[in-house]
Chain A
Amino acid sequence: MLAEKIKQMADKYACGRLIFFLEGGYNLNTIGSSFIFTLTGLAG
């Protein structure tokens, strides 16, 4: 998934350094799980 690929990139070049910002996302039923999946990919 996308987030895992971004994490691998951070590990490869930036010693894992990454800053995530919430921008948009307007479906209240899906935004929570979208964040957790992203967090799993980026930090898991």
Chain B
Amino acid sequence: MVTARGSTKEDSHRVQSAILYSPFFLKHQAPNYHPENPQRLEAILEAFKKSAFSKNIETIEPKPASKEQIALNHSVKYIEELESFCKAGGGYLDDTYANEYSYISAALAAGAGINTVDMIIDNKISKGFCLVRPPGHHAEHDKAMGFCLFNNAAITAKYALSKGFKKILLLDFDAHHGNGTQNSFYYTDQVLYISYHQWPHYPGTGSAEEKGEGDGLDYTINIPLETGSGNKEFLELFDKIVQPAADKYQPDLIIVSGGFDSHKDDPLAQLNLTDDG
């Protein structure tokens, strides 16, 4: 069960944050040039190593998620087909590639989130930063999509719910709509999914009219942004939409799907967020 962290003297000495990273994340790659490549993570790691954070934030190697854990969000058929496909050397699954290392990379990426939930419950950390590939938010229940194999954030949210968390705010600021994540929680109020994204844009979903259904009605909030939207729009809409929704919901865990393609210089999107926004 989840317990609120106290503020005892012991806590002040506790490591608050951890990075979760595996070298396997660099082995998942397409045969030819692809924008979703290992150099992305290498660039992040290099920046981290040069930063002051590297002195006090530990890097932890995750364990892979089990098939049962991945099946919290994906069909067993898809999981097993992907495993066989990768074992046989991989190739393209519609628009998404996989190579011989992609199954283990994807299982480790989901495992990073699961390990973080366990460490949070054990009061070892309060924040985990999962620097993972492949990404996850486009992956659907039974298929790979948009460079994503397993939906890391959705698997992690479902695992956290199974461990006693009750209300999870899942905030997605990638420039593309997280169709897979939205679909995972469209009919439930146990996860409040809020997504900022350029719209209309890939993958096509994410209009403000998509609000959830049944118990999930109003627990999906889409914030479609026009091309060129930047810091001002992100912050104003945070105060206008995200903050009031969070104040009403009072989440016991926050999961962030962080896409840095909302940056003004990203080649795959046309939003204008800058580093200080």
Q: How many A-B residue pairs have CB under 8 A?
A: 191
Instruction: Tell whether, in the assembled complex, residue B238 and residue A2 are in contact, meaning their CB atoms are under 8 Å apart.
Output: yes
Instruction: Tell whether, in the assembled complex, residue B246 and residue A23 are in contact, meaning their CB atoms are under 8 Å apart.
Output: no
CB contacts (< 8 Å) of A2 on chain B: these are 173, 234-235, 238, 273, 277
Instruction: Tell whether, in the assembled complex, residue B171 and residue A43 are in contact, meaning their CB atoms are under 8 Å apart.
Output: no
> From DSSP, what is the main secondary structure of chain B's interface residues?
mixed
Instruction: Tell whether, in the assembled complex, residue B263 and residue A30 are in contact, meaning their CB atoms are under 8 Å apart.
Output: yes
| Bound complex: CA A27 to CA B276 (Å) | 17
Known A-B contacts A18-B127, A22-B258, A26-B266; A31 and B253 likewise in contact (beta carbons under 8 Å): no
Instruction: Tell whether, in the assembled complex, residue B43 and residue A37 are in contact, meaning their CB atoms are under 8 Å apart.
Output: no
CB contacts (< 8 Å) of A40 on chain B: these are 53
Instruction: Tell whether, in the assembled complex, residue B258 and residue A43 are in contact, meaning their CB atoms are under 8 Å apart.
Output: no
Chain B interface bracket (under 10, 10 to 19, 20 to 34, 35 or more): 35 or more
A residues 18-44 near B (Cβ < 8 Å) are 18-40, 42-43
CB contacts (< 8 Å) of A23 on chain B: these are 135-137, 172, 174, 178, 257-259
Known A-B contacts A2-B235, A18-B126, A31-B260; A24 and B175 likewise in contact (beta carbons under 8 Å): yes
Instruction: Tell whether, in the assembled complex, residue A19 and residue B116 are in contact, meaning their CB atoms are under 8 Å apart.
Output: yes
| Bound complex: CA A35 to CA B135 (Å) | 15
